[in-house]
Amino acid sequence: MSNIFRSKHTIAVFETSSKTSTQFTAHALANGHHVVALTNSNKEFAANTTHFKDVDSAEALLEHADVVVIAGGAEHHSAAYHAVKKVAALIAQEKAPKLKHIYLVSASGAKSGAGFFSRALYADLAAAEKILVELAAKHPSVKYTVFRPPHLIETDKSNDVFVYDEAAEKNLVDLSNQVSYNGLADAVLEIVETQPKFVNKVAGINSKTLLVENHDANAETRKATYNAAAKATPFVVAAAAIAAGLIIFVAKRRS
């Protein structure tokens, strides 16, 4: 279906600095949507005074928006969690009068079937997803869609990205588990414009195109994992210190 026949939205984004959000905002503006941003450092977006506006508060961000897209979740877990939490609080305070749908880009590591270490790294995204489920139960007029992409690759290569009900993932074959940021942004916008299939659901995103060799993708994943672990290090150290103290205390009691 041509873009000109699709409904145009006023889309609220919390930032335009993450790779996915930058691409998404550019695509949304190109398709004729109005985009409102809480923080923006992109001069090209700011120059589009017809369809783009930045505001200085979350209340102003949601004042006229019918859609919220939190696209940078796979890159900035904590920021996505706080954005979802803020949206939920404003809905509870009846300060998002026109809001109908919230779209969150999460990550495959946040799913319940992921390993313990992965779930720990993506705990903020798992918590954000839970908030959306609870929000939809309390406020049925507000819907949500969660996207869980696999490896995100920065490339200009064409990527045949497709979106599917994550519950059907086991029936899919020959997946590359690699999606470009550009392909992800396009897929999210496609669902924003044609949303009914993924209302209050988790949508898987994948491709059958190998963008980079698997060892390169694994290296990128290790780098992301290292960065996430480095941020969590103070908490890990504190937990280890507490555990060590308990061991010493128990040993003394036994002696």
| Interval 163-172: pLDDT, tens | 998 877 777 8
The pTM of the whole model exceeds 0.75: yes
| Range 3-9 contact pairs with CB under 8 angstroms and sequence separation of 24 or more | 3/31, 3/32, 3/193, 4/32, 6/31, 6/193, 6/194, 7/193, 8/32, 8/33, 8/34, 9/33, 9/34, 9/66, 9/67, 9/192, 9/193
For the chain, which ranges sit under pLDDT 50?
A: 1-2, 215, 222, 225-226, 229, 233, 235-237, 239-240, 243-244, 246-251, 253-255
75 DSSP 8-state letter: T
Measure CA 239 to chain center. 28
CA-CA-CA-CA torsion sign (55, 59, 64, 66): positive
Q: Is 200 left (phi over 0), alpha (psi -120 to 50) or beta?
A: left
pLDDT of residue 185: 95
Q: Residue 249's CB: how many other CB atoms inside 10 A?
A: 10
pLDDT of residue 255: 47
pLDDT of residue 216: 52
DSSP three-state, residue 166: helix
CB 125 within 8 A of CB 107: yes
